[in-house]
Structure 1
Amino acid sequence: MTYTTQCPNCQTRFKVNDSQLAAANGLVRCGRCSHVFRAPDHFVAAQAAPAAMSAAPAPAERDPIDDFELEVPDFDPQAQQAEEAVAEAEAPAEPEAPPQQELEAFQRALAEAMQNRHATAPIGNPFDEPAAAPEPEVFGSRRRAETTPEPAAEPPRPAVRPLPEPEPPLFTDADAEQEDEARRHRRSAPWLNGVLAALGVLGLLFLAAQLVYINRTRIAAEVPESRPALERLCQSLGCEVPWPTDISRIRTEWSELAFVPDYPNLIQLSATLKNHAQYAQAYPMLEVTLKDSDDQVLIRKVFTPKEYLKPDDFKLGRFNPNSESRITMRLDAGKVHAMGYSLYWFYP
């Protein structure tokens, strides 16, 4: 159904239907002034049509139903009313108009100021309470009021920054004097320089002796002629000069393991050991390992040079450079039936 409602703000009439009223509980927005109002509260009753068609009112006298359309508001009316109330509460109050008495007093003060334009004192605020004027001094029959001029304000002075303190010099005259005094003292005592030089030489000799002691084995190997001197020196100090022990220069040239005839428990080990170094070395230790057919260890034993060397070779006490030594040993293997063996040379 269609109704006619009138905007309370601009008095413009519009046509509304039930769907528009049900969209926002009757709230609509004017298409001309954008005012929001409830349409049912401002319905306009339809006027009765006249009996005769000839008595129809002129077009100028018809109801002002505007062509603008009503719109359903796209906001929350309650929230808008709350925001308008808060805005009205926070708005500053308008200044009240001054009363009639104050306006008359201001006009009188303005008239007096225009009459006394030659006065040097400021007019001031006409709404302030009048201050008591000081009594003028009397000179005979003539009175004169003197006014004291206010002192002029001094201009602001620029801020003065203090100069940074100078840094103390690195070297002062006192330091130079002390250095000169120390230099003269050193010149006046020549024996002190001799003592310091002697101590330096002794320190160097001690350092050299320490290096010789630590590397005596290598020195004796590289320079064989120095071994007798090193041995005598070590004899006085209670030490000895050992032979080098470079196992990488000692290799097995040939070896064989065989059973001794008529002695089933005895096996004979034969090997040739060679020193490939250019200097004499100490004889190494020998480790013999007997294995079965599955390469599993059956017996392992370590022999010293005294046990595997001949008496003459052991008495010599050294393994000469580029020389070979023949080794032959018989071992009691018991009931172990060895099928393989290995030789391992090492230094303890």
Structure 2
Amino acid sequence: MTYTTQCPNCQTRFKVNDSQLAAADGLVRCGRCSHVFKAPDHFVVVRSEPVPAPAPVFEAPPSSRDPVDDFELEVPDFDPQAQPDDVQILPEPAIEPPLSAAPRDIAPEPLQQDVEAFQRALSEAMQNPIGNPFDEPPPAAAPAPEPEVFGSRRRADAPAQEPPARPEPEPLFTDADAEEEEEARSHKPAGPWLNGLLATLAVLGLLFLAAQLVYINRTRIAAEVPESRPALENLCAALGCEVPWPTDIARIRTEWSELAFVPDYPNLIQLSATLKNHAQYPQAYPMLEVTLKDGDDQVLIRKVFAPKEYLKPDDLKLGRFNANSEVKVTMRLDAGKVHAMGYSLYWFYP
């Protein structure tokens, strides 16, 4: 009996019979790719096609043939356990007869039935033509009755009520406005004397404000503009005030100081210091606070001295601490039985 097997490597089909299968226990070698395989494991069932109607027979082109290849199937004649090199080749062609094809000019029966059905449908469509697409559309249906509005008591079938009339807008200008406008026009403009009075009051107010600012800042003005001090002093003399000297303590510093005991006088100590005004304008002399301390930096005595108590008569007579100038301070103090080991000087303005 003849069977069809297929090579698992190249998918080529071959015809084999019982004698070939029994020769090597079913082992065969593909004549196309030389692959050895067991033919019964790759049998292919070939279905027989229906015989077509009689028609002129012609040779089908090679591309339409059955996939069974013309390559030879080699049946090995060896022990199943032997190596592929010992296989003996037995040629066995396996070619199926060519298939016959129907002529191309004869259409199959189902295709003719489809053509007849199409012709019948076309004739029916011609008998019932489609209307003109440019005809006027049919009239629209009457609108549905208006439904009942939520919250209203009128039903949908009740007659519609007329909307309330809108109030007329009020005029922009009333008779009262016209009367006020006429009254405003009837008033005569103020005389020029009133305008002059208002201008004079404004000027006096500005002058008073300027005088107040000068009075508040008279000390700073006299320091920045020394030429204005005589005028400011004369003005203050008329008003019963004075122009004090500036008191910028940050510009006054101690350049040098010393505290020593007076020989032959155990209770007296002498304080010597040099004070300098670093400002660019004269200032008033400050107050001096002297503090005596013991060895543990504890305060023993603290006393404040006015300028007349630590200045020389000539410096005190001048009455001012000139700009960029120095003054020598020399004082003798009676410390009693206090034995001071340290001191500090503090300058300030009251």
**Structure 1 length as normaliser, TM-score?**
0.52
Q: Which amino acid aligns with 1:272?
A: T
Distance 1:246 1:181 in 2: 65
Matched, 1:185 2:185: no
Match of 2:226 in 1: 224
Q: 1:166 to 1:281 in 2, by over 3 A?
A: same
Matched, 1:157 2:157: no
Distance 1:256 1:228 in 2: 39
Alignment length (residue pairs): 193
How much does 1:276 deviate? 0.5
Distance 2:301 2:224 in 1: 40
Match of 2:214 in 1: 212
Range with greater deviation from structure 2 (306-315 or 156-165): 156-165
Q: Which amino acid aligns with 1:158?
A: E
Distance 1:164 1:330 in 2: 104
Equivalent position SS for 2:189: helix
Which of the numbers 274, 280, 283 marks the counterpart of 1:281? 283
Q: 1:282 to 1:166 in 2, by over 3 A?
A: same
Give the 5 Å matches for 1:269-348.
269-348=271-350
Match of 2:95 in 1: none
Match of 1:173 in 2: 178
Match of 2:260 in 1: 258
Q: What does the per-residue CA deviation read over 1:230-281, in whole Å, with 9 as the maximum and x for residues that have no partner?
A: 0111011010011100000000000000000000000000000000001110
Equivalent position SS for 2:301: strand
Q: What does the per-residue CA deviation read over 1:65-95, in whole Å, with 9 as the maximum and x for residues that have no partner?
A: xxxxxxxxxxxxxxxxxxxxxxxxxxxxxxx
How much does 1:192 deviate? 1.1
How much does 1:155 deviate? 2.9
Q: 1:206 to 1:178 in 2, by over 3 A?
A: farther
Q: 1:250 to 1:174 in 2, by over 3 A?
A: farther
Q: 1:181 to 1:302 in 2, by over 3 A?
A: farther
Matched, 1:198 2:200: yes
Q: Which amino acid aligns with 1:295?
A: D
Q: Which amino acid aligns with 1:264?
A: P
Distance 1:181 1:330 in 2: 90
Q: Which amino acid aligns with 2:235?
A: L
Which of the numbers 216, 233, 236 marks the counterpart of 1:234? 236
The structure with the greater share of residues assigned to helix is 1
How much does 1:329 deviate? 0.1
Distance 1:252 1:222 in 2: 24
Q: What does the per-residue CA deviation read over 1:26-60, in whole Å, with 9 as the maximum and x for residues that have no partner?
A: xxxxxxxxxxxxxxxxxxxxxxxxxxxxxxxxxxx
Distance 2:342 2:212 in 1: 49
How much does 1:178 deviate? 4.4
List gaps (5 residues or longer) in structure 2. 1-156
Equivalent position SS for 2:320: coil
Match of 2:99 in 1: none
Q: 1:174 to 1:245 in 2, by over 3 A?
A: farther
Distance 1:256 1:201 in 2: 59
How much does 1:179 deviate? 4.1
Q: 1:167 to 1:313 in 2, by over 3 A?
A: farther
How much does 1:196 deviate? 1.0
Q: What does the per-residue CA deviation read over 1:193-242, in whole Å, with 9 as the maximum and x for residues that have no partner?
A: 11111111111111111111111111101111111110111011010011
Distance 1:155 1:219 in 2: 93
How much does 1:315 deviate? 1.1
Equivalent position SS for 2:321: coil
How much does 1:154 deviate? 8.2
Distance 2:244 2:331 in 1: 27
How much does 1:165 deviate? 5.1
Q: 1:267 to 1:191 in 2, by over 3 A?
A: same
**Structure 2 length as normaliser, TM-score?**
0.52
Give the 5 Å matches for 1:75-114.
none
Distance 2:171 2:325 in 1: 79
How much does 1:167 deviate? 7.5
List gaps (5 residues or longer) in structure 1. 1-152
Distance 2:290 2:164 in 1: 98
Distance 2:298 2:237 in 1: 49
Give the 5 Å matches for 1:60-79.
none
How much does 1:191 deviate? 1.1
Q: Which amino acid aligns with 1:251?
A: R
Q: 1:217 to 1:178 in 2, by over 3 A?
A: farther
Distance 2:179 2:246 in 1: 63
Distance 1:290 1:161 in 2: 102
